[in-house]
Structure 1
Amino acid sequence: MLRKITTVGMYGLAVLWLFPLLWAVWTSFRPRELATSWSFSADFTLDNFAKVWDAAPFDQYYINTFLIVTGILVAQMITATLAAYAFAKLQFWGKDVLFVLFLVQLMVPADILIFPNYNVLRDLSLLDTKIGIMLPYFASAFGVFLLRQTFKTIPNELEEAARMEGCSWFQILWRVYVPLAKPTYIAFGLVSVSYHWNNFMWPLIITNSVENRPLTVGLAIFAQSFETGAQWAEVSAATVMVIFPLLLAFLLFQRQFINSFIHSGVK
């Protein structure tokens, strides 16, 4: 009985989560005059997407978002890998205390750091730049924690065997630890891409030009503009355009997404 109640509750929560998405997709394909109507008819159109694409530079927003997300992910993979290896396998004074202090970042809300980060970027003349958006996220305590826990489960005998073969520490890291931690890398990569694709507050504060705005900021400006503020069809079409890449990636790699978290959790 309890299992049935749990199953029904899970499906109920899934429907609640899915309803806004379905409503946005439905509205985006409806003619403007029928956007807020609940009548079921065969009137569908792609004009909303064409109007949105012509009304705002979404092509530039896509390029900006792709560059920002990719740059952050690459930097996080490098810094998290090196830090995780040091915390997991190297011995140095104060390692455990330093690791605890490093994890304090997980308990600090990102919004608290907006003001000091803004001042630093202003002093560095990096406001309204892509590198300015990316710089505060080049290190990830969450990524370091995941990889550190995975690296600690890898037997030291593998590293010793690699050293006997003449491998340097970098070769050991690249050929032993990184391949064995692939599920964790996938899990963290998916989380990082999803978070920074949807990041809004920080890019909104430091960007002023089309050349550096990501999709989330561009969507907010488009939705609040005088011409489209009350046009639900166009706003829904723009929303679908923004979330479509993430939604498509999840549908295509759903199995890998779930398996990566299962494997990283088991390790």
Structure 2
Amino acid sequence: MLLFAAVWLIPLVWMVRNAFLPKEASIGAGWSWQFTLDNFSRVWEGAPFGQYMWNTLLVTTGIFAVQIFTLTLAAYAFARVAFVGRHILFMLFLVQIMVPADVLIFSNYQIINELGLLDTKIGIMLPYFASAFGVFLLRQAFKQLPNELEEAARVEGCSSLGILLRIYMPLSKPVYLSFAIVSISFHWNDFLWPLIVTNSSENRLLTVGLAMFAKSTEAGAQWTDVSAATLIVTAPMLIGFLVFQRQFISSFMHSGIKG
């Protein structure tokens, strides 16, 4: 495991090293202990990475907030509300998991175009407001909770919404955290759909902005600048994982899928 970890860390270490090296030292032979922050200032001034960062934060948090609302209601309906054809409808709903997201790009683009949402943040977020994976994960968690909890709450006069907010959601926190890791990391690193939908820097995300910066004629061959820009894009996810790694590991350990 340590060997595999070392192999995985080599590109990361190389990127971090080049991000803090002067240009002359990065292309020289041997190891250099020189250190500079000029690469980051040059990158920050060379492209609107501040705007890209804000766009990515807004899109990622916006998608996750809407997903929490939609998947919670859908999961509760599939897990606890009895209606005709519930299991058949749930199986049809799960078909979304089996369809690769790239297959739907053309149809999604047509819909976004007809709605007039091209080159907007809403246009980036709209196709991801519902998550079949999240509904499946949370439905399994809701089904594991004892029915006696809901029956006791109804005896006390609690409504369905109150039961959902006071019982099901608090007891399913590990599952919500597990889904948050999947959702936020995916949309933070998403590239193809934001590339297709956006055309301006006002709505461009970090991954697309990084690709544009790396391919530009001024920065294409400057490894220190490209490494600094890459570190800007990846640093929030790396820092978040290092700070909350214990909670992340605990959430996956306590969110096993049963039933």
Provide runs of 4+ in structure 1 moved above 2 Å.
none
What amino acid sits opposite 1:190 in the alignment? I
Question: Structure 2 vs 1, CA of residues 161 and 219 (structure 1 numbering), >3 Å: closer, same or farther?
Answer: same
1:214-263: CA deviation from partner (whole Å, max 9, x where unpaired): 10010000000010000000000000000000000000000001000000
For 1:264, what is the secondary structure of its paired residue? coil
Aligned to 2:194: 203
Superposed displacement of residue 38, structure 1: 5.0
Aligned to 1:141: 132
Structure 2 CA distance, aligned partners of 1:263 and 1:116? 37
For 2:201, what is the secondary structure of its paired residue? coil
Aligned to 2:152: 161
What amino acid sits opposite 2:253 in the alignment? I
TM-score, length basis structure 1? 0.95
Superposed displacement of residue 266, structure 1: 6.7
What amino acid sits opposite 1:242 in the alignment? V
Superposed displacement of residue 41, structure 1: 2.3
Where does structure 1 lack aligned partners over 5 or more consecutive residues? Answer: 1-9
1:27–1:36 CA contact under 8 A, matched in 2: no
2:25–2:32 CA contact under 8 A, matched in 1: no
1:129–1:207 CA contact under 8 A, matched in 2: yes
Where does structure 2 lack aligned partners over 5 or more consecutive residues? Answer: none
Residue identity over aligned pairs, in percent, reads 63
Task: Name whichever of 139-148 and 27-36 sits farther off.
Answer: 27-36
2:13 aligned residue (12, 22, 42): 22
Aligned to 1:129: 120
2:137–2:257 CA contact under 8 A, matched in 1: no
1:150-208: CA deviation from partner (whole Å, max 9, x where unpaired): 00000111001111111111000000000000000001001100000000000000100
TM-score, length basis structure 2? 0.98
For 1:265, what is the secondary structure of its paired residue? coil
Matched, 1:56 2:47: yes
2:40–2:225 CA contact under 8 A, matched in 1: yes
1:186 aligned residue (177, 181, 190): 177
Superposed displacement of residue 36, structure 1: 3.5
Structure 2 CA distance, aligned partners of 1:38 and 1:12? 26
1:44 aligned residue (32, 35, 38): 35
Number of paired residues? 258
